[in-house]
Structures are given as structure tokens and as C-alpha cells.
Amino acid sequence: MIFDTHCHYDDEKYDNDRDELIKSMEKEGVRHFVNVSADKDSVDKTLEILEKYPQSYGALGIHPSEIRGLTDADMENIKEKALSNDRIVAIGEIGLDYWEEGPDKDSQAFWFRRQLALAREVNKPVIIHSRDAVQDTYDILMEEKAGELGGVIHCFSASAEMAERYVKKGFYIGIGGVITFKNAKKLQEVAEKTPLDRIVLETDCPYLAPTPYRGKRNYSGYLTFVAEKLAEIKGVTTEEVYNATYENALKLYRIKDGDIR
């Protein structure tokens, strides 16, 4: 069974075939997925996804590139929604993104810390987005003692040494389609050195489709390619990868067996 720990099925790229696609995923072994919000609009859309698809879970939070104009009232709104729906399993995605010209670093740090505090208020783990901001992300997470909340470093792109530091603090490492790319030596080394019981599968769909669909629209069914690559690197069967990462996802998001729909 596959648990996709990070998806964006509210994206307009799915507007024409969302129902069929999500239905078809079950046949490919995808039992659960977490729809992750990135801006205020997708917070509401994530709640609609939960309403519609009983196998889904959700995460609420604002991506660092989308923080312009945020207010404390927005935080209160997310807090209320996170507390009133038990299938909201995390706060995210939140973090730092220095890749493109975006909001200034101080504002990003402010809303990152503010949402880590929010996660503490609602007692949920965090989904961390970090792009070209390795050290600052780590420093803020440590200063805010985010290891106590737990969470996942989504679409992990730092070094194996950094992965080890995160694992020691109780975080999971999110691995997706990038691992199948020819030039992904660094991430393949992370996968090799990180214990299988700390790795979770994720698509970040519609983005980051694995080889042989690189550049196309991604979806959870393609995680089979990610699991096969991971199995090859770890020297285990694909079945073992499915089972381990499924269990890891339940632990990461604190989902008990009895909660499984």
C-alpha cells in the first residue's frame, strides 16, 4: 500500500479529471494521500478535498512564497480549521524559499516562526518546504524546538549529513520523483544513508514527476517508480519499501490504525 505524504490535488491542472484520477489511484495501490495547502485559497480547497475523498488527509499552512499580505486573523482562521477537522494532520507547507525573487528573508522567517508556533498551539507536526535555504531553515527549526512537534522535510534537497541531523531530531525525510533523475546523485546518497524507517514517499504533484514522466503532470500512481528506485538503492524489495514508508507516514502524521478509513 502506498501513502502519498504530499500532494496538491486542488491544483487547477486536475480540474478536468480530478475525480477519475483519484479513483484510479486506488487500483495502483495508493490508499491514502495528504493534500497540502500553500496559500489561503488552497486552505479552503484542501477542506473541500477532504469532504469529497474519504481516503484523503490534509495539511493547512502558507508556503513562504505566498506570505504577502498575511495577517494574524489568517492564522486564527487556519487554527480554527485545523482544530475542527480531525483529518487535518499537519501544518504545512511552511518554511523558507530563497530560490526566486520572493518575499524578503525577514518576512519569510517571521511567518515561518509564526506558523511553527501555530503548529504548537494545535499540537500537530509540520511539513517543511526549504529551497536554497538549508542553514537558515535548520537554524529556525532548532531555535523553535520544532523537533518536539515532529514533521517532514519535504522534497529533501540538502546533504546526507544534514538529513542525518534532522533524523536525529525526530524528523522524516520526504523523497519523491527527483530520486529517479539521472543527475540526482546527492539525493540518492541521502536515500542510501538514511534509515528506511525515517523515509516517506511523496509526489508534490502536479510537480516533479519521476522518470519516465519527467516534466509531465505528476500524480500519486507514479510513486511506484520512486519506490522501485528506492528499493534498488536500499537493496530491499519494492514491497518492503511500500510497507515501511506506509507505516512511517502513519507515525509522521500520528494516524492510528483505528482512524484508517
The residue ranges that bind Ni ion (CB under 5 A) are 204
Nearer to Ni ion, 64 or 103 (CB): 64
Burial class (CB in 10 A: 0-12, 13-18, 19+), 50: middle
Nearer to Ni ion, 175 or 233 (CB): 175
Task: Find the shortest distance in angstroms from Cβ 240 to Ni ion.
Answer: 26
The amino acid at 25: M
Task: Find the shortest distance in angstroms from Cβ 232 to Ni ion.
Answer: 25
Identify the bridge partners of residue 153 per DSSP, sorted by sequence position: 128, 173
Nearer to Ni ion, 144 or 204 (CB): 204
Closest-approach residue to Ni ion (CB):
204
Give the separation between CA 119 and CA 60, rounded to whole angstroms.
10
Nearer to Ni ion, 214 or 234 (CB): 214
Helix-strand-coil split of the chain, %, nearest 5: 50, 20, 30
Task: Name the one residue in this structure whose C-alpha cell is 530520486.
Answer: 179
Task: Find the shortest distance in angstroms from Cβ 199 to Ni ion.
Answer: 17
Phi, psi at 140, each rounded to 5°: -65, -45
Q: Which helix (H) or strand (E) holds 155?
A: none
Task: Find the shortest distance in angstroms from Cβ 202 to Ni ion.
Answer: 8
Nearer to Ni ion, 97 or 144 (CB): 97
Helices 72-84, 40-52: crossing angle, 10 deg rounding: 10
Task: Find the shortest distance in angstroms from Cβ 239 to Ni ion.
Answer: 27
Strand 171-175 relative to strand 199-201: parallel, antiparallel, unpaired?
A: parallel
Nearer to Ni ion, 66 or 204 (CB): 204
Asked if 161 and 186 touch (Cβ cutoff 8 Å), the reply is no
Give the separation between CA 152 and CA 167, rounded to whole angstroms.
10
Task: Find the shortest distance in angstroms from Cβ 228 to Ni ion.
Answer: 22
